[in-house]
Chain A
Amino acid sequence: MRKLSTIILSLLVISSLLLAACAPAAPAPAPAAAPAEATEAAPAEATEAPAEEAAAEATEAPAEEAAAPSGDVIVATPGQAVKMVLMPKFLGILVFDQANQGAQEAHAELGNTDELQFLGPTPENSVAGQIEIVTNATTQGVQAIMISNNAGDQIAPAAQAARDAGMTVVTWDSPIPSAEGEQLFVAQVDFAETGTVMADMARSILGEDGGKFAVLSASPDAANQNAWIASLQETLTDPAYANLELLDIVYGNDQSEDSYNQALALIDKYPDMELIMAPTSVGIVAAAKAMQDEGLCDTVKVSGLGLPAEMVEYTLNGCAPEFALWSFVDLGYTTYYAAYLLATGAMQGAEGETFEAGRMGTYTIEKDPTRDAGLRIVMGPFTVYNADNVEAASK
């Protein structure tokens, strides 16, 4: 009797435990499964046949028109079913949510009948998490993944395995340094130009006499950050910038607290430092807050790449008089178009191909000058924000 009641009790607890574990699971796979089945059943026939025709039309028809101005412009055929994943460096960063917003806009515009998932790791598990998501996507039969790489070349084996399984791999925001496993990188801006933009902002803040400054970056493996810093160092060799002196480069790993502490450490280490340049939307806010909290905004200024909505306060109170950025919404939108075109086979991902990315206009695939084996398109442009335009942009 007692045995029996123990067994029943244990089973009850187990089932409640399972409910706890699986309850959220129940609704999630349902919508995931439903569209997949739906696309396999009815629209599969509907999309496949017209897709080929339409693709043929799309490439042939506009080819005649477009042939005159600039060769063949590849145009997307709406309504195809492509299962896609947009992966940020990690979740919980506003700019990545904005990129997702842009990608969802393109998703709706192109009438993709399959789903677009926004999947990212937790910040403390970024590298292993990104690899896990790419590996799982391969198992799930995802057709295109768009990666903002935070794992350096460590993600290359997983990306290559995805490519081998027939998946389209496009990077955005931050590429795979070796370009292994990556078809195309959608660069937000010309990485070589970033150095000039940062150096110009430094000169405009520090004035004619120049001064000493330090860089507060994200993680040491972030390919985009490293390329921008390299480009900044390159720019500084120009005699025009001779009076700017780069003291140090530190890393806050895109964590607010880390970045805040790194900014404070810089002040202690370099009493004659006049500017912190943070080419990361997390680092720049943390640095500006650190200077404000310490009451140092008059002596140490902050600049770099930041979001108007997060920076407006510091720009207006003079802590960060000038900073720059591009639109992450547009970046997500453009990336989606490139991945959709590659996954549907409309575009091959070869150097010299030109395609139309909806409202963003046309782009041509070119060699990436910052990476030997990589191909890229450059979105651009930079917008420089200061007290005059930051309020309008932050709304």
Chain B
Amino acid sequence: MRPDWSIFRRWEGLLLILLILIVGYNALSTPGYLTVGNWVNLFQLSIEKIIVALIMTFIIINAEIDLSVASVMGFSACMMGFLFAGGMPMEWAIAGGLLAGFVAGLFNSFWIGIVGLPSLVVTLAGLIGYRGLAYVLLEDRSIGEFPAWFDRLGQQPLIGPFPLALIVFFVLLIFAIIVLQYSGFGRYVYVIGNSKDVARYSGVRVRRTKMILFVVSSTVAALAGILYAARLGAVRGDMALGFELDIITMVLLGGVSIFGGTGTMWGVLLSVLIILNLRNGMGLANFSGHVQTGVIGVLLILSVLVPNLAGTVQAALKRRRARTVEVVAAE
């Protein structure tokens, strides 16, 4: 009986080994790392990014990109703050913030789905435009003093040691895994990502799928932005600035191809855990922010390099073996 090593040849297998090594290293080197409190903090400090990473996985597998997510986060949170400061009750202000995200999503998907512009261009415009709107709403102000229940939702545990945002993340994660890996819609996402034309000729409704994804993406981003506002207890125009790159990094490291068609939610989950634990471990070891950013950059480069490198070496080995056989045959 040969043991089945095939999982380690897949990207997820490598991520799993990496994760175990990082967790092991942190656990041995940093007291206080393996506590429930630290693990809640570790998620909580990046919770908004990893919530958006879930939907970004769908979009990148679909061979598209949404660069506007962080700006939508900021825009929705600022809309909420703007409405609240204007005297609206908090519940309605939250609904207004979510609606702003939903409308932003409709706008994106109109240009991508109906007009047929590339998502890179449309969402790049969104990145600039929605951020601009956020600044227009709040100018240079920062709005805080939200009702206590709102701040508590963002900052205090809701069930056991888990705050609301963490629960939202796990619910969305389970939902995302089921939809992407086990549903018809999920299969459409992969098929479209592999080849738009094949998908269209097979009767997949390409436009509709894309439009749904971009509306959901902005709506989830709006939710994440509002959770971020609750965690910080205040909003301002530059909220979540630059988050889109961290989010895309998580998805790519998870083994999702930037060209679409491949990758799994499991891989993204592993990559999220790796990045969070790496950051947390480096933070607890008092690394400066610059070093942390650098290490994660190196990780991303390697995540692109390693699979390609492995492929090249494999091909070279095959060629050499073939040559040896020829030589033997010639003799």
Enumerate chain A interface residues (CB-CB to B < 8 A). Answer: 2-3, 5-7, 9-11, 13-14, 17-18, 20-22, 24-25, 28-29, 32-33, 90-91, 117, 119-122, 124-125, 127-129, 131-133, 135-136, 139-141, 151-154, 156-157, 220-221, 251
Mind listing 14 A-B residue pairs with CB under 8 Å? A3-B5, A7-B9, A9-B310, A17-B302, A22-B25, A25-B285, A28-B286, A29-B30, A32-B285, A91-B290, A122-B290, A124-B242, A153-B234, A156-B233
Residues of A within 8 Å of B30, CB to CB, are: 29, 140
Mark each residue of chain B from 264 to 308: 1 if its CB lies under 8 Å from any CB of chain A, else 0.
000000000000001011111111111101010011001000100
Q: Does B195 contact A (CB under 8 A)?
A: no
- Which chain A residues border B25 with CB–CB below 8 Å? 22, 25
Q: With A3-B5, A5-B317, A221-B142 in contact, is A13–B289 under 8 Å at CB?
A: no
B231 and A17 form a contact (CB under 8 A): no
Given A136-B280, A139-B35, decide whether A32 and B289 contact each other with a Cβ distance below 8 A.
no
With beta carbons under 8 angstroms apart, the residue of B14, B41, B154, B232 that contacts A127 is B232
Given A6-B9, A91-B290, do A220 and B140 touch, yes or no (CB 8 Å)? Answer: yes
A7 to B155, CA, bound (A): 44
CB distance from B320 to the nearest CB of A (A): 11
9 interchain residue pairs of minimum CB distance: A220-B140, A154-B232, A122-B289, A136-B283, A157-B155, A29-B29, A121-B289, A139-B38, A154-B234
- Nearest-CB residue, chain B, relative to A90: B289
Q: Which A residues lie within 8 Å of B302 (CB)?
A: 13, 17, 20
Instruction: Given A7-B5, A121-B289, A156-B233, check contact A131 B314 (CB 8 Å).
Output: no
Question: Besides A6-B310, A13-B309, 20 other CB < 8 A contacts?
Answer: A2-B317, A5-B317, A6-B314, A7-B8, A9-B310, A13-B310, A24-B295, A25-B25, A28-B287, A91-B288, A127-B232, A131-B45, A132-B45, A135-B45, A139-B35, A152-B142, A152-B144, A153-B144, A154-B233, A157-B151
CB-CB under 8 A from B151, the residues of chain A are 157
Interface size on B, residues (CB 8 A): 58
Across the interface, name the chain A residue whose C-beta is closest to B306: A13
State the CA gap A154–B238 with chains docked (Å).
13
Q: B149: shortest Cβ distance to chain A, in Å?
A: 14
B198 in the interface, Cβ–Cβ < 8 Å?
no
CA distance A132 to B43 in the complex (A): 11
Q: Which residues of B contact A (CB under 8 A)?
A: 5, 8-9, 14, 17-18, 21-22, 25, 29-33, 35, 37-38, 41, 45, 140-142, 144, 151, 154-155, 231-234, 236, 241-242, 278, 280-291, 293, 295, 298-299, 302, 306, 309-310, 313-314, 317-318
Residues from chain A with a CB closer than 8 A to the CB of B291 are: 24
Contact between chains at A220 and B231 (CB < 8 Å): no
B289 near A129: Cβ-Cβ < 8 Å: yes
Which residue of chain B has its CB nearest to the CB of A178?
B144
> Does A220 contact B233, Cβ atoms closer than 8 Å?
no
Q: Which residues of B lie under 8 Å from residue A7 when comparing CB positions?
A: 5, 8-9
A2 touches B314 (CB 8 A): yes
B288 and A29 contacting across the interface, CB-CB below 8 Å = no
How distant is the Cα of A151 from the Cα of B298 in the complex, in angstroms?
29
A178 to B128 CA separation, bound complex (whole angstroms): 33
How far, in angstroms, from A157 to B232 measured CA to CA in the complex?
7
Please give the distance in Å from B292's CB to the nearest CB on chain A: 9
User: Which residue of B has the minimal Cβ distance to A5?
Assistant: B317
A residues within 8 A CB of B41?
135-136, 139
CA of A21 to CA of B295 in the docked complex: distance in angstroms? 6
Q: Which residues of A have CB within 8 Å of B33?
A: 139
Nearest residue in A to B49 (C-beta to C-beta)? A128
Docked CA distance A191–B37 (Å): 38
B residues less than 8 Å from A131 (CB atoms): 45, 232
Which residue in chain A gives the minimum CB-CB distance to B295?
A: A21
Bound Cα distance A124, B31 (Å): 30
> A36's closest neighbor in chain B, by CB?
B31
Q: A140-B284, A154-B234 in contact; A25/B309 too (CB < 8 A)? A: no
